[in-house]
Chain A
């Protein structure tokens, strides 16, 4: 796994400025936050499956070698061991790439984490196509669907590094299984300085009268950019960061649906079973309105640099603008 200089997703088209300078990968923030948590709390333990340099749990490992367990390339065993540690009162954070964490160990997560309702925190990095050059085998595009289907599981996708820090602290205090989805590439800071994450609470930058963009993860920054373009074109556009995908914040979603003509979801995940799926399920039952889902259209990814891949898969601000204008015609 080469550690190349990761590109700056979603910010590359901006003129060099504040946003670009402030970008940081959510996995880097995870490593830093975990280290701070480790200093404050002796019950925090960390497991990794031979990717601690990439998931950034290596920082915790160096500072607290007794509380770090490298499980080797054995994700199933890692999840079971994490469940065991939690049964002695520890708060285990188990990390690897999203594709291995959720796919390779799904039945282990189902039985010993969710069905057993153990206090295990699964924090996966390298989700989505912005993994980049490693290609489809390493790009998790189904992980939200896999985790969301499990009873007792909470699913969180932070939008930027500030939110990631807030999320990691919140899940450490929360009792129960949690899946946190992080990325490899740098993402710009998008959340307001005074924002504090709460599990199950979406953040509305604005509720629009024409369209509301419901986004998660790296797509929040991209949706904001799209909203700026749309607003300039006279389309009243709102943006909501739905960082907790389960449990979904139905209240905020209803507000957005009742106040506008169109909902557009945006995620770096398959359009099947992820944020778009969750939003459609909720709205179909509670307040049916037209919805467009932007995401990976039931296909695998491929190698390439992250920005090229976002373009190929139709995940740019321009793609969102086009979709909104097409749907509002």
Chain B
């Protein structure tokens, strides 16, 4: 595959089709590995697919191409999502996803940039991706490089104090070549986010930190595309998309279930899940 140019896939139907394939890849690799994070990988699929396939320029054959747009998965536990997208985009052969979490696999439990070219920075310890995204955005600006930076965070993740340090930085330095996304699926390991440690009102918090805030249904592809276009048009301040999502989205018996944060489908559940996604 040659360089993917901006707006390569703009057809909503096609993007939805890609999202379906990505969900199937995620379920396949998680079932095969027997460990990993199911719920939070599935919740962010639609947003991540829209970013990668409709917005980003990149070259899977030259992962360090200097003009590429950057994607930072700050919620590193959704690694299967990133790997599924990268495989689908042609960064590596699809059968590599069978090695998720295996010894010496480039597909580490959480993304590792030194073992998998195309991963911009290693993540997994939460709250750190936005700072790195800011740094990349500032570096690109110094070089007058028009490339853009995307950063996907979890809603539980924004309990980390460093996120708010980085939120200040992005507004202070008027970083507008950055679009952040909060995958607002409402659940974290110990339960509902609002019960574990309330983060509401999310919109007001980001707005108070100087961000342009867009709230959308994070599973509505048209709305995601509109939000990404709006983010690109906002100048002089950073934009965050609060994507309201469902944890485990796409598989009815995983949806909104706290327990599917960190466990994987059984072979039987996998068969049922695949059927649901094909029919969905």
Identify the A interface with B (CB < 8 A): 45, 66-67, 69, 71-72, 74, 76-77, 79-90, 92, 107-108, 110-112, 115-118
Pick the residue among A81, A86, A108, A115 that contacts B134 (CB under 8 A).
A81
A107 and B173 contact, CB distance less than 8 A: no
A118 to B112, CA, bound (A): 12
B121 and A77 contact, CB distance less than 8 A: no
Of listed A45, A66, A83, A110, residue having the most chain B CB within 10 A:
A83
Chain A contacts of B130 at CB under 8 A? 80
A87 and B131 contact, CB distance less than 8 A: no
* B166 to chain A: closest residue by CB: A77
B128 and A80 contact, CB distance less than 8 A: yes
Of listed A80, A84, A88, A117, residue having the most chain B CB within 10 A:
A84
Chain A contacts of B199 at CB under 8 A? none
A-B contact pairs, 18 of them (CB 8 A): A69-B138, A71-B165, A72-B168, A76-B162, A76-B165, A77-B131, A79-B131, A80-B162, A84-B131, A84-B135, A86-B135, A89-B143, A90-B142, A110-B125, A112-B128, A116-B113, A117-B114, A118-B121
A92 to B169, CA, bound (A): 16
A22 to B168, CA, bound (A): 43
A81 to B138, CA, bound (A): 9
A77 to B143, CA, bound (A): 22
B165 and A77 contact, CB distance less than 8 A: yes
B169 and A74 contact, CB distance less than 8 A: yes
Classify the secondary structure of B's interface with A. Answer: helix
Chain B contacts of A111 at CB under 8 A? 122-125, 128
* A92 to chain B: closest residue by CB: B135
A115 and B142 contact, CB distance less than 8 A: no
A84 and B162 contact, CB distance less than 8 A: no
B65 → chain A, closest Cβ, in Å? 12
Q: Indicate whether B137 reaches chain A with its CB closer than 8 angstroms.
A: yes
Q: Given A81-B131, A112-B132: A107 and B139 within 8 A (CB)?
A: no
Q: Given A76-B131, A76-B162, A77-B162: A85 and B112 within 8 A (CB)?
A: no
Of listed B112, B120, B132, residue having the most chain A CB within 10 A:
B132
B165 and A88 contact, CB distance less than 8 A: no
* B172 to chain A: closest residue by CB: A72
A85 and B135 contact, CB distance less than 8 A: yes
A117 to B122, CA, bound (A): 9
Chain A contacts of B137 at CB under 8 A? 84
- Interface residue total, chain B, C-beta cutoff 8 A: 36
Q: Given A71-B169, A77-B165: A115 and B122 within 8 A (CB)?
A: yes
A81 and B124 contact, CB distance less than 8 A: no
Q: Indicate whether B136 reaches chain A with its CB closer than 8 angstroms.
A: yes
Identify the B interface with A (CB < 8 A): 66, 70, 112-114, 120-125, 127-140, 142-143, 145, 161-162, 165-166, 168-169, 172-173
B138 and A87 contact, CB distance less than 8 A: no
A112 and B121 contact, CB distance less than 8 A: yes
A76 to B163, CA, bound (A): 10
A114 to B140, CA, bound (A): 22
B134 and A84 contact, CB distance less than 8 A: yes
A63 → chain B, closest Cβ, in Å? 15
Pick the residue among B66, B123, B132 that contacts A81 (CB under 8 A).
B132
A83 and B121 contact, CB distance less than 8 A: yes
Known A74-B165, A77-B169, A88-B66; 8 more pairs at CB < 8 Å: A77-B168, A80-B135, A81-B166, A83-B135, A84-B131, A84-B137, A87-B139, A112-B121
* B112 to chain A: closest residue by CB: A115
A84 and B139 contact, CB distance less than 8 A: yes
A88 and B128 contact, CB distance less than 8 A: no
Chain B contacts of A118 at CB under 8 A? 121
A81 and B135 contact, CB distance less than 8 A: yes
A110 to B125, CA, bound (A): 10
B15 → chain A, closest Cβ, in Å? 28
Chain A contacts of B122 at CB under 8 A? 111-112, 115-116
A118 to B124, CA, bound (A): 16
* A80 to chain B: closest residue by CB: B131
B128 and A84 contact, CB distance less than 8 A: no
A126 to B85, CA, bound (A): 46
* A73 to chain B: closest residue by CB: B165
Chain B contacts of A45 at CB under 8 A? 139, 142
Chain A contacts of B134 at CB under 8 A? 77, 80-81, 84
